[in-house]
Amino acid sequence: MPAYKAPRKDIDFVMNELFDFEAHYEKLSNGDAVSRDIRDAILNEAVKFCEQVLAPLHQSGDEEGCHWSPEGVTTPAGFVDAYKEYVDGGWASITMPEEFDGQNLPHSLNLAVGELMGQANHAWAMITALSSGARQTLIAHGSKEQQETYLSKLVSGEWTGTMCLTEPQCGSDLSFLKTRAENNNDGSYSITGTKIFISGGDHDYTDNIVHIVLARVPGAPEGTKGISLFVVPKRLPQADGSLVDNAVSCGSLENKMGIHANPTCVMNFDGSKAFLIGEENRGLNCMFTFMNSARLDTSLQGLTHSELALQGAMSYALDREAGRSLSGIKAPERPADPLMVHPDVRRMILTIKSFSEGSRAFIYYLAQLSDLEKEGDKLAGKLMGLLTPISKGFLTECGIEAANLGMQVYGGHGYIREWGMEQNVRDARIATLYEGTTGIQSMDLLGRKVLLDGAQTLNAFIDIIQTSLPEIDAEFQTVLQSQLTDWQTLTQEIMAKAGANIDELGASAFDYLMYSGYIITAWMWGRMASVALVNGKSNDSAFYRLKVETARFYFQKILPRAHMHKMQIESGSSSVMGTSMDDFRESIA
C-alpha cells in the first residue's frame, strides 16, 4: 500500500493562491490570530501527526477491526495511543470558544486539519468529527448548566460525542421514531429505546461518551413535530468530579462493508438518565446543527477517497510497466512502458485528479462561507444552505467513482487487500448513505433550497459566479457562461413542471443535484486554471502546467455529463412513474 503523503502543495495552492485566505481572515473577528506563519505551523504539525501516527494505522486497523464484549468496545491496536496524542496536541479545541478553553480559530482552518486526518485514517478520524458536532450542538442549544458540565471535557477531547438518530424501524424518516423519554420531574428524563448505526457509540478512547439523542416525551405530537433532543452521557458526572455509570450500553457492533476500525454500534438506553436540550418537541430544529456539521464532514470524505485514489493510482501508473505506447516505445531500455503512457489509464487518472482537486476547491470555498456565516453574514448562511446538500451528495458520489477508478488502474492487484485500493472502495461506499442519502440531499436541494425559495439564493449564487467570469481565462469563460444560462432556464422549467405534477420534482432531483455539482466544479476548475496560467508564468513548474491540463480535461471530458443530466430532467417523470405498484409486485410473484 502506498504511504500516505499529505497533499500540502495543493492545499497551499487553494488557500493562498485561489482563495486568498490571508485576506479572508482579515475580515473575521477571530482572524487576527491566524497569520500565515501560524497557519503554516498548525498545518505542518498536522502533516506530521497524520503521516507519522495516523496513516501507519490505516490498513492495520481495517484488518484488525473493533471488538465487542460485555465490558465494552475496544478499537484496533494503536488507536487509543493516537487519540491520546491528538488530545495532547490540542487538536480538539481548535475552533472552540475561549470560554470553554478553546483556541477560537476559524472553522476553515479546522477543516483543513480535518481533511488531512480523514485521509490519513478515515475510521479513526470519524470519532473526532462527531465530537465536533456534539460540541457545536451544545454551544448553540444547550443550557448554561449543560455547557458547564460537558463542553470543557468535549473541547479538550477528554470526552467524545455521538449523534443518535436511527432506530431499527426508523432510518431517514424520523417520523417513525419510538425511543421514549419520561420526565422525572427533577430536571432530568429517563430514556428507553434502541439506536442503531451509531458511529463511535462505544470505544476505549475516553472514559466517557456524550450521546446526543432524539426521543419522544409522552403525549408528543405524531411525526417529526413530536421529537425532542437530549444529552445522555455514558457516565454521569458527579459534583466531586467522579463518574457514575448510566444505563447506556452497546448491544453489538454492526458487521459492515467498510470502515472496520470505526465502531458502529447498536446502542441500548434502558431508563438512561438524560437532560433536555432546548424545548420539548423542538428537538429536530436543534439537531439540524449537528446534522449540517455532519453533512459538511461527509462532503470532506468524498474528497478523502478521491485523494487516496489519486495518490495510489498515480504512483502505480508511473511505476508499473505493462505493454507499449501506441505512438511509439517510451522506455526502450525497459521490457515495457509505464502504465501512464496508455490513454485509458490517463483517462482514469485525470478523472480522479479532476474530482480530488475540484472537490478540495469546492469544500474550501464552503469553509470560507462557514466562517462568514459564523460572523453573522446572512447571504453566506443562505449559500451554505444551498450548497451543503450539493457538496454532500455530489462529492461523495465522485469519491465513490474515484475510488473505483483507483482500483481499476491497478487491474487485478487493485482487488487484492495489500494494495489498499479495495479498502478505499469499501470505506467510500458509506458516504453517499449516511447523513441523508444522495436522493434525500437532492430533494432537500430542489424542494427546500430552490423551489420554496423561488430560486432566489440560487440566482444570488449564479450572480457571484457571473461576477467572477471576467477573471477567468477566455478558454473556460464562454463555456461557463453558457452553463449558467442553462442552469437558470432548467431551474425555471422544473419549477413550472412541478407546479402541475409534483412527481416531476422527485424524478428530477438526483439529476439536478449532479448537474449543479458538475457546474460548480467547472467554476472551480476555471478559476484554478486561470490562477495557474498567471502564476505559472513566473514559476514554470509541472504543478501549474498539470493544473491547466486537468482543467481542460474536466471541461472537455467530464463537464459534458451535465448535459446528460439536463436531458434526463427534460425527459420528464413518465418513464420513472409510469409503472404501477401492482405491476412491480406481480413481476416478482
What amino acid positions are annotated as catalytic residues? 435
Q: Give the containing element (helix H, strand E) for 183.
A: strand 180-183
Is residue 55 within 8 Å of residue 564, measured between CB atoms?
A: no
* DSSP notation for 229-263: EEEEESEEE-TTS-EEE-SEEEEEE---SS-TTS-
Torsion of CA 390, 392, 393, 395, to 10 degrees: 90
- Distance separating alpha carbons of residues 480 and 55, to the nearest angstrom: 39
- Distance separating alpha carbons of residues 109 and 113, to the nearest angstrom: 7
> How many whole angstroms from its chain centre is CA 332?
45
Sequence letter at residue 285: N
Closest CA to 230 of 150, 125, 132: 150
Distances (CA, A) of 388 to 247, 366, 401: 36, 8, 20
Question: What are the backbone dihedrals phi and psi of residue 459, each rounded to the nearest 5 degrees, phi first?
Answer: -65, -35
Torsion of CA 405, 406, 408, 409, to 10 degrees: 120
Is residue 284 within 8 Å of residue 214, measured between CB atoms?
A: yes
- Distance separating alpha carbons of residues 576 and 97, to the nearest angstrom: 49
- Distance separating alpha carbons of residues 446 and 296, to the nearest angstrom: 18
Is residue 247 within 8 Å of residue 240, measured between CB atoms?
A: no
Q: How many CA atoms lie within 13 A of 586 on its CB side?
A: 5
Quick one: three-class SS letters along 477-498?
HHHHHHHHHHHHHHHHHHHHHH
Could you identify the residue written with the cell 432556464? Answer: 489
- Distance separating alpha carbons of residues 396 and 442, to the nearest angstrom: 13
Distances (CA, A) of 194 to 163, 169, 215, 506: 13, 10, 10, 31
Q: Where are the strands (E) in 485-582, listed by range? A: none
DSSP state of 19: S
Closest CA to 358 of 578, 184, 561, 167: 561
Closest CA to 493 of 446, 544, 546, 559: 446
Q: Cell triple for residue 403? A: 475510488
CA geometry: angle 321, 318, 401, nearest 5 deg = 105
DSSP state of 211: E
- Distance separating alpha carbons of residues 303 and 355, to the nearest angstrom: 8
Is residue 211 within 8 Å of residue 196, measured between CB atoms?
A: no
Give Cβ neighbours of residue 10 (< 8 Å, ≥ 6 apart): 357, 360
